[in-house]
Amino acid sequence: MLLRNTLLYLPAQVVGPLFQLVSVVVWTHIVGESTLGVITLVTATHELLQTVFLVWWSQYALRFFGAVKDGDEADRFYRTENAVLLLSATVQCVVVLLILQTKILPGAGLGLTLAVLGYVVTRTYNLYLAERARVRHEIAVYTIQQTTGPALGFLLGLVLIHFFGQDPEWPIAGYAIAQAAATLVVLPMIRFGWSFWPVDRTILRHALSYGLPLVLGGGLSWLSINASRFIVSDMMGVAAAGLFAVGYGLGFRASTVAAMMVTASAFPIAVRTMQERGAERAMRQLADNGALLAAILLPSVAGVFMLRQEIVHLLIAPNFQAATLAILPLATLAGALRNFRAHFADQVFLLHQRTGMTFAINAVEAAVTVGASILFISWWGLVGAVMASTLSAIVAALVSFAVGAVLFRLRPPLLHLLKIAAATALMMLALYGLKKDGGSVALALHIGAGGLVYFAVLALLYAPVLMNYWNRRAKRTKLA
C-alpha cells in the first residue's frame, strides 16, 4: 500500500518542489541580490504566518477529517472550516503588512504590498486544500494544489519580469495569480460549504487542544529553519541574505524534493494502521516509512556533496557561486536531517496525540539555531549561519529519536539503514572516480551513473526480499 500510494502521489511530490528548486537557480541569473532577498524573506514570513495562524487547524483536519461523516456532521465541519480560513487569512494579511513595512523593505510601494497580500491569501488556501485532499486520497486535487503555484507561478513571474522589470512584486504576483487559479479550479472537485456560522464549538475546542502545541512547535520549527536568514539580513544586510538564500535554499529544496517523493502517503497510512491494527503495528509501519525515506535522502545528500562543484558552476550565476559552494553541502545535510526527523521520529507524537512533545523538541532546536547563528555568523559569516542550522538539526534529531524510542518503542530500521548506507558508500566511490569536466551532459551522466550504481547495489542487497515478493505476486495471479 505504501509503495502504491507513493507512486500515485509522485507527480505532485516531484513537480512542485522541483520548480521551487529550479526557481532558486533561475532567479540568480535574472534578478539581483536585493530582489532575491526580498522574495526569500516574503516566502519565509508567510511560512511563519501559516504555521502560527493555520497549522493548528490543517493538522487537525489531516488527523480527523477522514472520520467526518456526511450530513449534519459534515455541515458543522465545513462551517467551522470556512470561518477559520477567513479569520486566518485576514490576520495573516495584517501581520505580513507590518513585517513588510518594518523588517523586509520599509517604504515598500503599493505594487509590492498588493502582490504580497495576494500571495499570502492564495498560498494559504493552496496549502490547506492540499492537506485536506491527502486525508481522502483526492490525488487530482492534491496534485493541482502542489504543482500549479510553484510551476505556473514561476513561469508567470518570468513573463512579468520580462515585460515590467526586476522589482520583487512581479515574481511574487506571478505566484499569487497561479495560486488563485489552482484554488478556483478544484472547487467543483471537492466537498465544502458556503456558510460561516454557526461555528461548532466542540470541533473548535478539539482542534485547538490538538493543534495548539503544533502551532508552538511549528513556530519554533520555522525559527530553526529561517532564523539564520533574518539574522544574516540584520547582521550583514539584505544583499547578503540574497547570497545566503541561494545555497541555503538550494540545499533545503534538494532535500525536500527527495523527501516529498515518499512522504505524502506515508503518514495517512500510519494513521489508518493505528486506528485499525493498534500502536505496535503502527510503529512497525513508521519504521517502514523511515526506511523508504532514508533510501531517498541518504544518496541525495551524498550525491550533492560529490557533485557540488559541477552543480554550482553549471547552474548558478557567477556572482552567487562562491557563497553557494560554501553553503550547499551543509544546507543539504541540515535539510535531510530535518525531513527525516519530521516525517519519521516526530510522527510518533502525532499518532499518540502527544503533540506537546514536538514543542519541547522544536524549542531545543530553535534555541540552538538562534544562539549558534549569532555566534557563528560573527565568526564565520555566511558559512557560520549554515553551520548553526546543521548543528541544531543534529541535536533535535537525536532528542526526537531518543524520546520516541524510550516512551513509544520507536525502533529505527537498522538493517535497512545499513544496506542503504552500503549502497550509498559504493555510489560515492564510483562518483569519486569519475572525471569532472563541468558540462551539462557530463553532469547528467554522472547523476545517472551514481543512481545506477546505488540502485544496482540496493537490488543485490534486497534480492531475497524482491524474489519473495515476486513469487507471492505470481501465485496470486495464478489463483486469480
pLDDT digits (tens, 9 = 90+) for 291-321: 889 999 999 999 999 999 999 998 898 888 9
What angle do the packed helices 201-236 and 382-408 form, to 10 degrees? Answer: 150
Q: How many Cβ atoms are within 10 Å of 154's Cβ, its own excluded?
A: 19
Cα separation, 60 vs 184, in Å, equals 24
pLDDT band at residue 473, thresholds of 50, 70 and 90? Answer: low
All cell numbers assigned to 200: 461548532
Confidence of residue 12 (pLDDT cuts 50, 70, 90): low
pLDDT for the residue numbered 108: 83
Nearest to 84 by CA among 45, 130, 53: 53
The two counts, helices (H) then strands (E), for the chain are 19, 0
Separation CA 47–CA 234 (nearest Å):
19
Closest CA to 120 of 182, 59, 172: 172
For the chain, how are helix, strand and coil distributed in percent, rounded to 5?
A: 90, 0, 10
Q: What mean pLDDT value characterizes the chain?
A: 85
Query: Grid coordinates representing 468?
Result: 519473495
| Residue type at position 34 | S
Give 265's pLDDT tier (boundaries 50, 70, 90).
low
Axis-axis angle for helices 55-64, 266-277 (nearest 10): 50
8-12, long-range: CB < 8 A, 24+ apart: 8/139, 8/265, 9/139, 9/142, 9/143, 9/264, 9/265, 10/261, 11/143, 11/147, 12/139, 12/142, 12/143, 12/145, 12/146, 12/147, 12/264
Q: Is the pLDDT of residue 480 over 60?
A: no
Question: Residue 9 above 90 pLDDT?
Answer: no
CA distance 388 to 141: 38
Amino acid, res. 106: P
What is the structure's pLDDT at 2?
A: 53
- In 136-168, where does DSSP find H-type helix? 139-164
Q: Please work out, in degrees rounded to the nearest 5, the angle formed at the alpha carbon of residue 258 by the alpha carbons of 239 and 290.
A: 125
Contact 330, 386 (CB under 8 A): yes
Domain ranges of the chain: 2-412, 414-480
How much is the pLDDT for 279?
A: 73
Distance set, CA 161 to CA 60, 147, 153, 167 (Å) = 39, 21, 12, 8
330, 390 contact by CB (below 8 A): yes
Q: Is the pLDDT reported for residue 6 higher than 70?
A: no
The confidence score (pLDDT) of residue 158 equals 94
Between 96-105, 351-360, 423-432, 456-465, the lowest mean confidence (pLDDT) is in 351-360
User: How far apart, in Å, are the Cα atoms of 380 and each of 252, 384, 387?
Assistant: 20, 5, 9
Q: What confidence score (pLDDT) does residue 175 get? A: 96
For range 43-63, the mean pLDDT: 83
Cell of 472: 507471492
Compute the Cα dihedral for 252, 226, 144, 174 and give only its sign: negative
What share of the chain in percent tops pLDDT 70? 90
195-248 pLDDT, tens digit each: 778 877 777 787 887 777 777 777 888 888 888 988 998 899 878 888 898 899
What pTM, to 2 d.p., does this model score? 0.74
The three cell numbers of residue 262 are 515518499
For residue 376, what pLDDT is reported?
Answer: 96
Within 10 angstroms of residue 65's Cβ, the number of other Cβ atoms is 18
Give the DSSP H/E element, type plus range, for residue 50.
helix 33-53
Position 99 scores a pLDDT of: 92
Please check whether residue 396 is in contact with residue 341, taking contact to mean a CB–CB distance below 8 angstroms: yes
Question: What does the pLDDT read at residue 73?
Answer: 64
List C-alpha distances in Å: 221 to 48, 99, 146, 197, 396. Answer: 9, 19, 21, 33, 10
Average pLDDT over residues 65-83: 72
pLDDT for the residue 145: 87
At residue 303, the pLDDT reads 94
From 281, 283, 82, 356, select the one nearest 197 (Cα to Cα). Answer: 82
For residues 79 and 45, what is the distance between their CA atoms, to the nearest angstrom?
28
Report d(CA 76, CA 201) in Å as an integer. Answer: 10
pLDDT classification of 84: cutoffs 50, 70, 90 = confident
Amino acid at 325: L
Mean pLDDT value of segment 46-75: 75
Query: 270-295 pLDDT, tens per residue?
Result: 777 777 777 778 788 888 888 889 99
* Most confident region among 253-257, 363-367, 461-465 by mean pLDDT: 363-367
Angle at alpha carbon of residue 160, lines to 154 and 161, rounded to 5°: 90
Q: What band does 171 get if pLDDT is binned at 50, 70 and 90?
A: very high
Q: Which residues of 422-440 are buried (b: 16+ CB within 10 A; e: fewer)?
A: ebbebbbebbeeeeeeeee
Question: How far apart, in Å, are the Cα atoms of 34 and each of 80, 240, 445?
Answer: 41, 8, 35
143 pLDDT higher than 60 = yes
pLDDT, position 82: 85
Q: Confidence band (pLDDT; 50, 70, 90) for 377?
A: very high
